[in-house]
Amino acid sequence: MHATIRRLLLFALLVACSAPSSRAQTNLTLLELNKLPFFLGREYFIQRSGRARMIVQADRADLGPAFTYLLFDMQNSRQSQRKEGAFNFTPDHGFASSALEVELGGFSFTALGHRTETRWVVDDGVPAVEAVWWAGGVRVTERISALTDVGAFRRTVRLDGAHLTGEEAVKLRLALPPGEVEADGQALIQHSNGARLALTVLGDASASLLPAKACLEIGPVAVRPKQGMRFETLLAAQIPEGDKAEFIQRVQALRTSNAKPEWASTRKRWEAASAIATDDRTVQEIFDKARFGLPGMIADEGTMDAGIFEYGAQWVRDTSNTALGALHAGHFESTRAALVRILTKMISKEGVTMIADSFETPDREQFDQMGELLHLLKAYRDWTGDDSLIREHRALLLAMIERPLSPQFRDETGMVHNRREFWERAFDDAYELAYQMYVILGLRDAAALAPSLGAEDRAARWRAEADRIQQAMLKHPTRALVHDGHLIKRRNVAGEIADLLTAYKGFLADTPGSSETHHRLLPDATQALPIAFRLVDPQSSLARRTLDDLEGLWNTRWSDGGYDRYHTSSQPDQPGPWPFAACFILRAQHEARLFDRSRRSLEWLNTCQGGRAGLWFEEIPSIRSLDKSCGLVCWTSAELAVFVVRHYLGVSFDGDTLVLRPALYPGSPPVKSDLRFRHNRLRLEISGSGRIVGAIVNGRNLQPRAEGSLRLPRDFAGGSVVIRCAQRR
């Protein structure tokens, strides 16, 4: 992978040093490299303001400006299928116009890839994407934050004369994409295809508007040694392009107020979200990155692109699981929006759930989607106390719950079966482990929600069917999804284990599915799911042997960590680790108290490409990095938010009861969490790792149960919980 990139960069450099007539080709080559979703060292940050979504691209290779952004309509999932769909993308320049230029001594500097540091920071209570780079002896710090609801982003620029030896005159330039640009008052206005953009300066700084260059220029300003100055700018978007006068008036109002009311509203929104505080840097970073990004993944009306820069489509499973993470991060409004969209647009009246914006034939339905949605609905009810959506959509939900129980999908075992497997390939008719697990989970959650569904008369049958499926899944004499003491992914309805594949082809010639003769299905990351959800006792030998089996997916054809989603030999696309599949295994490892493995998985997720910024790739490719299709998957952020709250802090529900089973890493420092809970807060303090030896709940002592959990009173409506643990030796 790295050799291929080096060859392309060398080619671009040679062209750049050749005759001027060849330099147009250089620009074209660099543009094509910038259009690729995946590139060596490339990271993305995601933010949302109202209907406008900004995806910030941070590069480590020098392909032009290293800190740029793309703008999309949150309600149009198809638009973000490719970078070229961005409002600020132009055929000749891509999105390079979004970079800041700093002029010093007549020379224009911009962020240089291998010398630019990017990260999430908190600026006055609001998450911001920060880039630090150098323009000569001037240190430049950029911060971009999304203002809640108003379709605007604040970009602050700080200039520090950190390595100057005397006063220097400096100019700043920000630009909009080339096109129809005009100046109106103190704002630069650009008319794009489907959106109207505006660029202006906040505060007292004066700016020159240069419409012919689509540019706003600040300065010259005097930067002195060891001194700094700060400027605030605003980028606003009107999506879709509407009344021009109204938009200009809104921009001018933001400028007049310096966007202070909007900033206060944004800060208040983030104060309402959940947060943790710990000296365990990995846990702190991974939860913050997940919670900062999740609001940028779900629109106010619930639209979500399940695979940015790849799919441009929506699945019930992806939206449900992403919303589950948003819920655990305290973003209740985003969760509700996602639920409304699913319940109004993504389920047919027959109870069929949407797959990639469409509805499949019965032999290709995904039975897990019912369970994932019901699990989300119950979690939403538990955390918010709101069951109105369940009551409102009762008939639709009942059809969806009952659908997998239809005789066309079942046989005498009670398990569901069809040709489609979890990863969406089609094989012989078989029982899929993930489908059984999620149907079991969905039926039990449906039974718990039966009063809200007006279906108390069905609850006992749902529980009985869930028990029947689980019994068959684990203990059927000829069809159980257990073999040699561990869980297996799939068994054909005739009884044989689905493992070896014949006549299987990949998408391209260099993939294992095409280039190799022998293909296996096992092991598969979904084997971890029954352990993660405690359908299988995480401390059992079955769980341990299953997790031992899954170690075969770590570093299978690479050496820098991560789990593949299934045996790499049957991969129809590139080999490479899959972050959200690794999260399945992480959650199971932690439940099984295999803390060394769990920690290794978490460290890898925090530092792998994509994880450093908190917007994870679906996969990290190993043989063909220069691929136009390598998506950013929202689901991973959600998995990590759920991991921290549900598995690390140990906050979950048993029926209607809040249960705490903290599982900090051995030797962990204390952790505090401030979790949004119904109309109040759950302020949880845990002294460290080990078993619970005592707790104080809202000032009153509460003893742990015999198995070690802490069950809060059923009428607990929020407040303080302080847990004292005995450190393991």
Please report whether residue 557 resides in a domain.
yes
User: Parallel, antiparallel, or unpaired for β 196-202 and 228-238?
Assistant: antiparallel
Same domain, yes or no: 113 and 83: yes
Q: Is-contact 173 103, C-beta < 8 A?
A: yes
141: which 2 tokens? 């710090």
Name all contacts of 508-513 with Cβ < 8 Å and 24+ positions apart: 508/573, 508/624, 510/623, 510/624, 511/571, 511/572, 511/573, 511/574, 511/575, 512/568, 512/569, 512/570, 512/571, 512/575, 513/570, 513/571, 513/572
Q: Within 13 Å of residue 488, how many CA atoms lie on the same side as its CB?
A: 22
CA–CA distances in Å: residue 305 to residues 299, 469, 622: 10, 33, 25
Average pLDDT, the chain: 94
Same domain, yes or no: 68 and 9: no
Same domain, yes or no: 508 and 603: yes
501: which 2 tokens? 């594949």
Please report whether residue 134 resides in a domain.
yes
Task: Report the distance separating Cα 606 and Cα 120, nearest Å.
Answer: 13
Low-confidence ranges of the chain (pLDDT < 50): 1-8, 10-23, 729
CATH number, position 664: 2.60.420
550: which 2 tokens? 């899954």
Residue 220: asked if its preceding bond is cis (omega within 30°), the reply is yes
**Alpha-carbon dihedral angle through residues 594, 595, 597, 602, given to the nearest 10 degrees:** 140
Q: Tell me: the pLDDT tens digits for 426-442?
A: 999 999 999 999 999 99
Please report whether residue 680 resides in a domain.
yes
Task: Report the distance separating Cα 72 and Cα 55, nearest Å.
Answer: 8
Q: Is-contact 232 201, C-beta < 8 A?
A: yes
CATH number, position 287: 1.50.10.10
Task: Report the distance separating Cα 503 and Cα 522, nearest Å.
Answer: 17
The domain containing residue 132 runs over which residues? 46-271
Same domain, yes or no: 413 and 353: yes
470: which 2 tokens? 């689980």
User: Parallel, antiparallel, or unpaired for β 52-58 and 67-73?
Assistant: antiparallel
B/e letters for 215-254, b = 16+ CB within 10 Å, e = fewer, are bbbbbeeebeeeeeeebbbbbbbbbebeeeeebbebbbeb
Q: Tell me: the pLDDT tens digits for 261-288?
A: 999 999 999 999 999 999 999 999 999 9
Please report whether residue 672 resides in a domain.
yes
Cβ burial of 158 (10 Å; 0-12, 13-18, 19+) is middle
Per-residue pLDDT at 12: 45
User: What are the residue ranges of helices labelled H in 257-297?
Assistant: 260-272, 281-293
- For the four alpha carbons of 322, 326, 327 and 331, in that order, the dihedral sign comes to negative
Contacts of 291 (CB under 8 A, 6+ apart): 273, 274, 275, 329, 330, 331, 641
Please report whether residue 430 resides in a domain.
yes
Per-residue pLDDT at 728: 57
Report DSSP letters for 409-450, one per residue: GB-TT--B-EEE-TTS-EEEEEEEHHHHHHHHHHHHHHHHTH
Q: Is-contact 366 317, C-beta < 8 A?
A: yes
Same domain, yes or no: 303 and 245: no
The angle formed by the CA atoms of residues 440, 445 and 446, to the nearest 5 degrees, is 95
Same domain, yes or no: 135 and 239: yes
Q: Which amino acid is at 371?
A: G
Residue 91: asked if its preceding bond is cis (omega within 30°), the reply is no
Same domain, yes or no: 265 and 291: no
C-alpha Rg value of the chain to the nearest Å = 27
Per-residue pLDDT at 668: 96
Task: Report the distance separating Cα 709 and Cα 333, nearest Å.
Answer: 30
Report DSSP letters for 223-259, one per residue: E-BT-EEEEEEEEEEESS---HHHHHHHHHHHHHTTT
Same domain, yes or no: 241 and 278: no
Per-residue pLDDT at 72: 98
Please report whether residue 41 resides in a domain.
no
Please report whether residue 522 resides in a domain.
yes
Q: Is the pTM here over 0.85, yes or no?
A: yes
The total domain count for the chain is 4
Please report whether residue 40 resides in a domain.
no
Same domain, yes or no: 388 and 536: yes
600: which 2 tokens? 């290794």
Per-residue pLDDT at 26: 53
CATH number, position 207: 2.70.98.30
Q: Which amino acid is at 68?
A: T
Same domain, yes or no: 502 and 432: yes
Last residue of a domain, one of 648, 663, 696: 648
Same domain, yes or no: 541 and 467: yes
B/e letters for 643-662, b = 16+ CB within 10 Å, e = fewer, are bbbbbbbbbbeeeeebebbb
Task: Report the distance separating Cα 247 and Cα 244, nearest Å.
Answer: 5
User: What are the residue ranges of helices labelled H in 643-688?
Assistant: none
Last residue of a domain, one of 231, 249, 271: 271
Per-residue pLDDT at 727: 74
Same domain, yes or no: 517 and 585: yes
Instruction: Estimate the share of the chain in helix, then strand, then coil, as percent rounded to the nearest 5.
Output: 35, 25, 35
386: which 2 tokens? 């709101």
579: which 2 tokens? 């972050």
Q: Which amino acid is at 88?
A: N
Task: Report the distance separating Cα 570 and Cα 511, nearest Å.
Answer: 9
Last residue of a domain, one of 271, 293, 322: 271
